């Protein structure tokens, strides 16, 4: 083992606590309640937001199909990653699942590795269908089967990519 | 009841997705935060950071251009940084242990795994207020100590000397 070197460890003054105060600490229930109420109000906009995110994904897919370079690949990953993170909030958990599969595929295939456009398209089309048909129920059998198939295809691809 | 004076806080929200910014800003405003700055890129955030010197930064990982990790590294180590100790709460869809370790090595204080909820935003804000972590400086790292307890007694190897901060943002 290497010789141990000293580390400098220090606690800066807690300026935040001095600024905001607070008695015993813990969760501010009144503020939580206000925020939950504000989120309820915001929900009326979620339909437009998910539509815009899906449109951004379609645009990123078109860019990648035209010129599959690193910039287009990053843009596609960002669009898929955004949807993965936000779709559950917008009450589209199935879209989040498909977007997670797409993100995983792009993220785990090394830079320069081939990402099959057919499989990108399968994901993007699935997201469009789920959105168009407002499929928000995670128990939908057809959607579940579709998600499982996409997961399996990505699994195969990622395993092959890891070996090369 | 804690009765925090959130109205005294200055918070910078950095995300290239306008919907996510609006979501986080709405929650913070409802908490009572008045001074909220928004940035849609790491570069813009760095500019605002130097002008406004926020108390807390809420930051997305995946952004075009400068990533969230790149920005955290600048905040912690750049000579121009207005406050290398500013708490950074990272919003991320990455939840694997490997990603969490990389973010911690870059100097992130707390995480919010997407999807964002009111409860997680409150709990991470309270965490940086009530349970700040000590800071550690080694040859290859500067930032919040990854160990929540027992850091003062740590005498083990300096692993970060072998995995410098530079690598975290790669």
Beta bridge partners of B10: B35
* Secondary structure class of B59 (helix, strand, coil): strand
Contact A54, A80 (CB under 8 A): no
Q: Which fold has domain A45-163?
A: 1.20.120
For residue A131, which of A123, B92, A139 has the smallest C-alpha distance?
A: A123
pLDDT at position B158 over 80: no
Structure tokens at A159: 């395993």
> What is the mean predicted confidence (pLDDT) over B124-128?
93
> What is the mean predicted confidence (pLDDT) over A85-94?
92
pLDDT at position B165 over 70: no
> What is the mean predicted confidence (pLDDT) over B163-168?
50
The domains located in chain B, with CATH, are: 6-168 (3.40.50.2300)
| Range name among A30-34, A81-85, B122-126, B150-154 with the lowest pLDDT average | B150-154
The answer to whether A12 contacts B114, with C-beta atoms less than 8 Å apart, is no
| Range name among A100-114, A116-130, B21-35 with the lowest pLDDT average | A100-114
Which tens digit of pLDDT belongs to each residue from A20-76?
A: 987 666 678 889 999 999 999 998 899 999 999 999 999 999 999 999 999 999 999
The answer to whether B145 contacts A19, with C-beta atoms less than 8 Å apart, is no
Structure tokens at A164: 């090369």
| Range name among B19-28, B120-129, B157-166 with the lowest pLDDT average | B157-166
Give residue A142's region: left, alpha or beta (phi > 0; psi -120 to 50): alpha
What local confidence, expressed as pLDDT, does residue B170 receive? 47
**Beta-carbon neighbour count of residue A15 at 10 Å?**
14
First to last CA, chain B: 43
What local confidence, expressed as pLDDT, does residue A23 receive? 65
Structure tokens at A66: 């035209």
Q: Which pLDDT band, with edges at 50, 70 and 90, does A131 fall under?
A: very high
Question: Which residues of A fall within a CB distance of 8 Å from B161?
Answer: 5
Question: Which residues of A fall within a CB distance of 8 Å from B9?
Answer: 16, 19-20
The domain ranges of chain A are 45-163
> What is the mean predicted confidence (pLDDT) over A149-154?
94
**Beta-carbon neighbour count of residue B99 at 10 Å?**
17
Q: How far is CA B112 from CA A37, B55, B109, in A?
A: 20, 18, 11
The answer to whether B132 contacts A12, with C-beta atoms less than 8 Å apart, is yes
Q: By CA distance, what is B119's nearest residue in A?
A: A32
Instruction: Estimate the crossing angle of helix A46-66 against helix A93-108, to 10 degrees.
Output: 30
Question: Which residues of A fall within a CB distance of 8 Å from B121?
Answer: 35
What local confidence, expressed as pLDDT, does residue B169 receive? 45
Which tens digit of pLDDT belongs to each residue from B87-116?
A: 999 998 877 788 888 888 888 999 998 889
Sheet strands side by side (includes B135-137): A8-10, B135-137, B142-144
* DSSP classification of residue B153: G
Q: Which pLDDT band, with edges at 50, 70 and 90, does A118 fall under?
A: very high
In sequence order, the 6+-apart residues with CB closer than 8 A to the CB of B60 are: B14, B15, B16, B17, B20, B68, B90, B91, B92
Question: Which residues of A fall within a CB distance of 8 Å from B154?
Answer: 7, 9
Structure tokens at B132: 């700040």
pLDDT at position A126 over 60: yes
Q: By CA distance, what is B84's nearest residue in A?
A: A12
């Amino acid at each position: 083992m290497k010789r141990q070197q000293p580390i400098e460890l220090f606690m800066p003054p807690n300026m935040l606590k001095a600024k905001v105060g607070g008695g015993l600490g813990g969760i501010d229930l009144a503020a939580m309640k206000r925020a939950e109420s504000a989120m309820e109000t915001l929900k009326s906009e979620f339909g437009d937001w998910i539509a815009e995110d899906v449109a951004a994904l379609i645009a990123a897919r078109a860019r990648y199909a035209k010129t599959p370079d690193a910039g287009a690949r990053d843009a596609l990953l960002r669009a898929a990653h955004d949807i993965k993170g936000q779709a559950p909030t917008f009450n589209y958990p199935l879209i989040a699942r498909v977007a997670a599969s797409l993100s995983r595929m792009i993220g785990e295939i090394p830079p320069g590795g081939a990402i099959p456009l057919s499989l990108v398209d399968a994901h993007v089309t699935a997201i469009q269908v789920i959105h168009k048909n407002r499929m928000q129920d995670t128990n939908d059998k057809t959607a579940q089967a579709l998600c499982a198939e996409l997961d399996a295809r990505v699994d195969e691809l990622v395993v092959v990519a890891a070996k090369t | 009841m804690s009765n925090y004076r959130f109205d005294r806080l200055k918070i910078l929200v950095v995300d290239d997705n306008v919907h996510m910014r609006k979501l986080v800003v709405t929650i913070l405003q409802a908490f009572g935060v008045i001074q909220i700055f928004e940035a849609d890129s790491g570069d813009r955030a760095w500019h605002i950071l130097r002008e406004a010197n926020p108390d807390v930064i809420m930051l997305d990982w995946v952004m075009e251009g400068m990533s969230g990790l790149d920005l955290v590294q600048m905040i912690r180590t750049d000579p121009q940084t207005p406050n290398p100790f500013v708490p950074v709460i990272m919003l991320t869809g990455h939840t694997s242990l490997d990603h969490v370790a990389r973010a911690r090595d870059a100097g992130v204080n707390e995480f919010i795994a997407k999807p964002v909820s009111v409860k997680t935003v409150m709990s991470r804000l309270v965490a940086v207020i009530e349970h700040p972590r000590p800071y550690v400086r080694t040859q290859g790292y500067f930032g919040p100590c990854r160990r929540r307890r027992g850091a003062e007694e740590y005498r083990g190897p300096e692993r970060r000397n072998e995995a410098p901060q530079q690598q975290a943002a790669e």
